[in-house]
Structure 1
Amino acid sequence: MSDVRTQADDSRLHGMLTVADEIALAEAYDRHAPSAYALALRITGDQGSAEDAVQEAFVELWRHPERFDPHSGSLRAWLCMLTRRRAIDLLRRQTVQRTHLTRLAGQAPVEGGVEEDVVGAAQAKAVRECVRDLPALYRDPIALAYYYGLSYRQVAAELGVPEGTAKSRLRSGLRLLAERMSAAGYPGSAS
């Protein structure tokens, strides 16, 4: 597509987006999401994180189409820039969360008698190990919800993902954790 035609198309889409035309968003997504996803995947190395970065970029376009100026550059370049920023932000958050999780893995206060202390400590250690071994996609939301006591809405905000994504990751992560605990020989852990 020529530069003049691209700019005209981007201007047309921009005008439609400023009046909340869903067809324009779908067209922009169909046209530019593959490039944005490929970039995010190269940065994050993780499909889920790449999808989240692309989703966040398109949500930004939908919520604030006025921030895109078709006379300053192409919509593709602007969306890729947004996606790149989101992907880097996700990587930074994951690094910070891993640091917190590493610190948490060594801490688990246990109360009770000597026998209860021994059993509780062994179970706490097994849970920490199973949580630590989960993929980051599930480990981070679980740690935020159960170690820090955040609600799924707060988890979504902390991770910078939609609430539905946070809920889904928590459910899937807990299911995987239960399976791993059951496989490690802790009865009643799989549900």
Structure 2
Amino acid sequence: MAQTQYFSDLIVKVAVDRDKSAFVELFDHFAPRLKGYLMKQGADDAVAEEIAQDVMVTLWRKADLFDPKKSSASTWLFRVARNRRIDRLRRQKTAELDPEEPSLQPAAPADVAVEMDARLREKRVRVALSTLPDDQKQVVEMAFFLGLSHSEIADRTELPLGTVKSRIRLAFGRLRRLIEADEAVDVD
């Protein structure tokens, strides 16, 4: 949740202050993810790259249209990417749109039970994270909220790579035990 707010705040900085460093951070985080998403949707490497670049230009130019109350930064950017891909498909004169194209289909309605399970699981993880020792919590947050590799964490924290890996492994073991114990209490 903190990461979601962080990226929303960066977009607001781009909108209000035209903050280039905030844009660079957003670009570095989202451009490769958007490209990967577009490639999974069937776009080839060059097209995915072009659309991802276009989405990031749109972010720079239209950041003021982003409303953090309506969606997260990632939801907004991925929706723009999806729409750009659909627009591109529609403009192709040589190929006709396939009405069965998965990216053109509406999303299935959310399953309430699945959403409730996900929220409960998220709550359990948040509670379990709060009980970790600070050194373990720090490396887990850097790895999973900031998306840093173990090597990047080692560089930023000036810790040996083995220490970073050990702390993450210990944290996961502790989290697993706490979450499983919490689930066992719910079952009883």
Give the TM bin, normalised by the shorter chain.
0.3 to 0.5
What TM-score, normalized to structure 1? 0.45
What TM-score, normalized to structure 2? 0.46
Report the structure number with the largest CA radius of gyration.
Answer: 1
